[in-house]
Amino acid sequence: MKIKSIELIEINLPLVHFFETSFGRTYERRIILTNVKDTEGNEGWGECTAGETPSYSYEWTNGCWEVMQHILAPMVIGKEVESAAHIWDLMEEIRGNRMAKAAIETACWDLEAKKLNVPLWRYLGGVNQEISSGVSIGIQDTVEELLEKIKTEIDAGYQRIKIKISPRWDYDVIAKVRETFGDIPLMGDANSAYTLADTELFKRMDDFNLMMFEQPLRHDDIIDHAKLQREVKTPICLDEPIKSPEDARKAIELNSGKIINLKNGRVGGHNQSKKIEQICREAGIPVWCGGMLESGIGRAHNIAISTLAGYTMPGDVSASKRYWHEDIIEPAVEVSENGTIVAPEGAGIGFEVKTLRIYNLASRRLEIK
């Protein structure tokens, strides 16, 4: 494989409904898409999952554009590699910037799978073509609105409900959800909003029989999470601290949590996701695929990687219509009445990219050769 060009395309997509976490409220996504072409005329698509500000991560939209344009793309273009699995090696010497790396790397996997005329999920080593789907519901203006949204998603068949929590939107809110819906599969995602001083609160919330507390403490911590896990019965799920296979290994050795949210963009793409999945599977740690408000292209890559054997819990990969009035792929991602998504049999990501719509939405474009 030799990449001839990488095009960066930024689009703006308004959300169907605002999405609020402990970081703040999002109404619209600025998304960088990558279109890579090889010397034989094959092409593939990827997506950068960085947010508009460096809140969830130090990576953000403008920063990723700059690092891809000036550093990462020139490191990849014109280099001969055996396969897409080795694209990561070309960029590895650059520290961090994993979301930017993933945008390029995943596009190369799509390109190669299309060239070989195989579905990306099979090419990655996936074994479960039908994956379980859950939903992530942000903080709402009122508890009543939250309950209404949960009912809508339960009626749609989703297998797991995740609600965002933060100080003053936690215990009483979860209590009301349990009172209303009983023992549904439910979890709380704190996005690093708490400290060890809140241990007693988490011990009280053990009574709710949640599937997990996701990332309750600092974004870069695995020490205090281990301390908290020793105090609570509910499994802790790690998100932000797991950026590499080494991070996963260390967290498992420290017993920092019992579950890992494995986000493809956060760890640098398919190569790194596959390595972390193997480490977790061999250690008996279940993983699931988290979401970053991706468009259909990023969502398609999430579907593909979620078919690996270690992804044993419902992820955040849900229907396109929950987020976008019109997606940029065809057909849009849909969820069955049983709360599952079937990975497509088409070559590559298996969805048709709506190129004309993307270019009409573009706020800026840059082709790097």
Residues carrying an active site annotation:
164, 263
Residues in contact with 205: Cβ distance below 8 Å, sequence separation at least 6, in sequence order = 170, 171, 174, 188, 213, 232, 234
Supply the DSSP symbol for 20.
E
Question: What are the φ/ψ torsions at residue 254 (nearest 5 degrees)?
Answer: -85, -5
Q: Where are the alpha helices (DSSP H) in 156-244?
A: 171-181, 199-205, 223-231
Residues in contact with 259: Cβ distance below 8 Å, sequence separation at least 6, in sequence order = 212, 235, 236, 237, 238, 285, 286, 287, 288, 313
Q: Which of 20, 52, 47, 21 lies closest to 36, judged by CA? A: 47
Q: Which of 73, 93, 92 lies closest to 32, judged by CA? A: 73
Whether residue 344 has a cis bond before it, omega within 30° of 0 = no
Which residues pair with residue 130 across a beta bridge? 342
Please, what's the largest Cα pairwise distance for the chain? 60
Cβ atoms 19, 138 nearer than 8 A: yes
Q: Which of 9, 102, 89, 108 lies closest to 50, judged by CA? A: 102
Identify the burial level of 284 via C-beta atoms within 10 angstroms of its C-beta, where 0-12 means exposed, 13-18 middle and 19 or more buried. exposed
Which residues pair with residue 38 across a beta bridge? 3
- Output the CA torsion 138→324→36→311 (10° steps): 50
